[in-house]
Amino acid sequence: MKANPKDVRTGVFYIDGDVAAAEGALAAGCKFLGGYPITPSTEAAEAFARRAPQVGAMFIQMEDELGSIATVMGASLSGQKAMTITSGPGFSLMMETIGFGAMLEIPFVIINIQRSGPSTGLPTRTGQADMMQARWGSHGEYEVITLSPDSPQESFDFTIKAFNLAEKYRAPVMLMSDECVGHMTEKVEIPEADKIDLEPRRLYKGPKDKYIPFKPDKDLVPPMVKAGEGYRLYLSPLSHDQRGHPLLSQKSTTRRIVDKIRLNADDIIETKEDGLDDAEVVVVSYGITSRVAYRAIEQARKSGIKVGIFRLITVWPFPDKRITELAKRVKGFVVPEINYGQIVFEVERCVHGNANVVLVPHGGGWVHNPDDILGAIKQIMKAKKRYEGIFEYKTELEKLIFGSGVQKK
């Protein structure tokens, strides 16, 4: 299915990542945004609100984030592609309903323009500390898909991809952007509608009386119907059987909402690799951090160290297999992230003790200094053993604040 030309603002623009994400949503055919203003995501909601009447989309500013995410659930079940846009504190408030959406297998997209926390933190500054929350934030067991853009162009592209994945897998999909990408203004090329592929909703096509709401297809994803078409749907967030009826048993559909992502992970996972053929050190990064990493890699290559980049486009599901494979032939991994260590532990898990792992932490507010990533690369080159554990690199800033020295975790 191709995008509708009415929804796509084809052209070359100089816009920020927030606005690009809103344009991406509209191009993907999103017709509903339930939002609540929160810095640094407001530009995205504003852009959507401006364009919504032109394309027959609905924007409503709800009374809070609890409400805005709940409207998204209703709108999606009414048959429209729907999303919400938020940041840290709002994202926290949405957690319960994210679990609800996962349980009822509602396709929806959340754009999280991450800022620094905890709590109010640094509202106007960048952060990447919601990565684990994105996966584990709601109680109970479920799986999500997240995408991390590093530019306004990717904000546009990945928002479309997010809607496609949401429709394909009937799962929560999150665009885990950040303040830096959100407020970065760059060239964004919006292609013509016939160049944009969209995943249509998996609509049930059989006889009306034979419809079983949670009976999956071969890929473990069940087809859907819209509310108001006479199917007499009953959807409940209680653990349920295929008919949707509450079931106090392990036979409920909960296992499948985990499996449908895990078992399809190879189809979902997207990464970008650069210079890994001869690399001795691999920088694993995602979002804005990968752009800083490129600078460090350039410098390292100039000084003769063979470094490559492994960029996570989908942080969740995590590309375990590839990292395990790389660990067998490289000296180590450097993981810069704007938090005190989240994805680094995933990397360490996949390394299976075959290579060193160094975290380059950042408390948030700014992006890394490339020299710190370079320093961590050099630290790996100096390592005496194949595996000495997981290290935290003391950045220049940290040294300034907390004194010098490399600390073993």
Within residues 94-113, the interface with other proteins by CB under 8 A covers 96-97, 100
79 binds other proteins (CB under 8 A): yes
**C-alpha Rg value of the chain to the nearest Å:** 22
Q: Which of 234, 255, 321, 406 binds other proteins (CB under 8 A)?
A: 234
Within residues 2-31, the interface with other proteins by CB under 8 A covers 31
Q: Which of 24, 34, 117, 216 binds other proteins (CB under 8 A)?
A: 34
Q: Which of 229, 298, 388, 396 binds other proteins (CB under 8 A)?
A: 229
Q: Closest distance between other proteins and the C-beta of residue 203, in Å?
A: 15
Q: Which of 3, 19, 29, 32 binds other proteins (CB under 8 A)?
A: 32
Give the residue with the Cβ less far from other proteins, 34 or 90.
34
Interface mask toward other proteins for 44-73; x: CB under 8 A:
---------x----x-x-xxx-xxx-xxxx
Cα gap 60→88, rounded to integer Å: 20
Residue 295 sits at φ, ψ, to 5 deg, of -65, -45
Q: Closest distance between other proteins and the C-beta of residue 39, in Å?
A: 21
242 binds other proteins (CB under 8 A): no
Cα gap 136→353, rounded to integer Å: 25
Token reading at 2: 């191709």
Enclosing H/E stretch for 138: none
Applying CB under 8 A, the span of 231-239, 252-260, 291-299, 350-358 interacting with other proteins comes to 231-239
Q: Closest distance between other proteins and the C-beta of residue 74, in Å?
A: 3
Cβ neighbours of 67 (radius 10 Å) = 18
Q: Strands (DSSP E) along 62-138, which ranges?
A: 81-86, 108-116, 122-126
Size of the site for other proteins (CB under 8 A): 42
Q: Which of 8, 19, 21, 77 binds other proteins (CB under 8 A)?
A: 77
Q: What DSSP string runs through 267-332? A: HH--EEEES-SS-SEEEEE-TTHHHHHHHHHHHHHHTT--EEEEEES--SS--HHHHHHHHTTSSE
397 binds other proteins (CB under 8 A): no
Q: Closest distance between other proteins and the C-beta of residue 70, in Å?
A: 4
Answer whether 285's CB lies under 8 Å from 293's CB. Answer: yes
In 39-54, which positions are buried (b, 16+ CB within 10 angstroms) versus exposed (e)?
A: bbbbbbbbbbbebbee
Angle between the N-to-C axes of helices 254-262 and 88-104, in degrees from 0 to 180, rounded to the nearest 10 = 110
In 208-232, which positions are buried (b, 16+ CB within 10 angstroms) versus exposed (e)?
A: eeebebbebeeebbbbbbeeeeeee
Give the residue with the Cβ less far from other proteins, 76 or 148.
76
Give the residue with the Cβ less far from other proteins, 70 or 144.
70
235 binds other proteins (CB under 8 A): yes
Binding site for other proteins (CB under 8 A): 31-32, 34, 53, 58, 60, 62-64, 66-68, 70-80, 82, 96-97, 100, 226-238, 245-246
